[in-house]
């Protein structure tokens, strides 16, 4: 199996619940980091699934029902991985007064009341964005949303330290992610967004998105002492929600 195919499979297996291979192929840390180059492409494939579902559902159900089913489909396809990260981050911020306390709360498998509230609000904002998509622009928004979210994780993981001294799920990615991996992911995201939105909106998404993500990374270092897998998942959620709420207003009106 070629290196390119291996890294794509690692990205797909990590980001989705759909198995393409029965074996993990004993991924090395360097290969896990390299797999992040594929994240926006995987997001594009997830977006294509959403577009296909939207085309069929929109013929049968109302816009409100279609939006709810699209949200459910995305959660199922990704195992709710990023929603879990967002809820853990909110719990950690709300319940911990020190870095160690916040990390300990985030590691707890149980979700707290504040985390549940944050997740509910995030899902509500996503629903509002999906429900308000301008007619004729569903393809661009439904594909662009997961592309931007997964690109955000690559940007957020670049040149940062792990918050957990004992390591963690994100450690191999953070330790070995290179500038080349980031550039490949950014080029992929840029090409997809340009085809969907046009060159200037695509450039604006990348520039503004990168600035916001790096600010988040700095804030995470202050509040958590670094970055974790949960925090990268939270970045994905925030990026997707901002995209689906802001782009229709700025680009299509």
Q: What is the tally of structural domains in the chain?
A: 1
CA count, 13 A, side-chain hemisphere, 104: 7
Domain contains 27 = no
Domain contains 25 = no
Residue 229 has pLDDT above 60, yes or no: yes
Say what the pLDDT of residue 22 is: 59
Q: Give the mean model confidence (pLDDT) for residues 126-151.
A: 96
Domain contains 253 = no
Phi-psi region of 104 (alpha: psi -120 to 50; beta: other; left: phi over 0): alpha
Say what the pLDDT of residue 107 is: 87
Domain contains 24 = no
Average pLDDT in the chain: 92
Which structure tokens are listed for 217? 């990374």
Say what the pLDDT of residue 6 is: 87
Output the pTM of the full model: 0.94
Q: Give the mean model confidence (pLDDT) for residues 71-86.
A: 94
Say what the pLDDT of residue 23 is: 58
Q: What stretches of 158-178 show up as alpha helix (H) in DSSP?
A: 171-176
Say what the pLDDT of residue 251 is: 84
The span from the CA of 228 to the CA of 65, in Å, is: 34
Domain contains 11 = no
SS3 162: strand
Q: What stretches of the chain show up as alpha helix (H) in DSSP?
A: 3-15, 29-35, 39-57, 63-77, 81-95, 99-107, 113-131, 138-157, 171-176, 179-197, 199-224, 229-251
Domain contains 78 = yes
Domain contains 86 = yes
Domain contains 230 = yes
Count of CB atoms situated within 10 Å of the CB of 175: 15
The span from the CA of 30 to the CA of 245, in Å, is: 35
Parent domain of 87: 34-247
- Does the CA dihedral 200-243-72-105 come out positive or negative? positive
Tell me the per-residue pLDDT of 50-62, one tens digit each, with 9 for 90 and over: 999 999 999 999 9
The span from the CA of 179 to the CA of 173, in Å, is: 13
Say what the pLDDT of residue 29 is: 85
* Nearest by Cα to 141 from 133, 132, 152, 149: 133
Which structure tokens are listed for 211? 């600035």
Percentage of the chain modeled with pLDDT above 70: 96
């Amino acid at each position: 199996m070629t290196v390119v195919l291996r890294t794509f499979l690692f990205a797909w297996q990590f980001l989705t619940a759909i198995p393409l291979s029965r074996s993990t192929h004993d991924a090395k840390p360097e290969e896990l980091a390299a797999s992040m180059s594929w994240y926006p492409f995987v997001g594009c494939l997830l977006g294509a699934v959403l577009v296909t579902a939207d085309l069929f559902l929109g013929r049968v159900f109302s816009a409100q029902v279609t939006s709810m089913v699209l949200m459910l489909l995305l959660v199922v396809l990704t195992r709710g991985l990023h929603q879990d990260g967002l809820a853990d981050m909110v719990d950690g911020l709300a319940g911990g007064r020190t870095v160690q306390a916040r990390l300990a709360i985030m590691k707890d498998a149980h979700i707290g009341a504040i985390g549940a509230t944050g997740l509910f609000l995030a899902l509500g904002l996503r629903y509002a964005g999906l429900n308000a998509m301008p007619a004729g622009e569903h393809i661009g928004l439904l594909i662009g949303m997961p592309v931007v979210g997964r690109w955000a994780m690559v940007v957020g993981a670049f040149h940062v330290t792990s918050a957990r001294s004992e390591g963690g799920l994100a450690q191999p990615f953070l330790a070995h992610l290179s500038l080349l991996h980031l550039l490949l992911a950014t080029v992929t995201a840029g090409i997809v967004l340009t085809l969907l939105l046009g060159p200037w909106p695509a450039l604006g998404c990348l520039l503004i998105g990168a600035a916001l993500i790096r600010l988040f990374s700095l804030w995470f270092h202050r509040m958590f002492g670094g970055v974790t897998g949960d925090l990268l998942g939270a970045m994905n959620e925030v990026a997707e929600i901002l995209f689906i709420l802001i782009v229709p207003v700025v680009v299509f009106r």
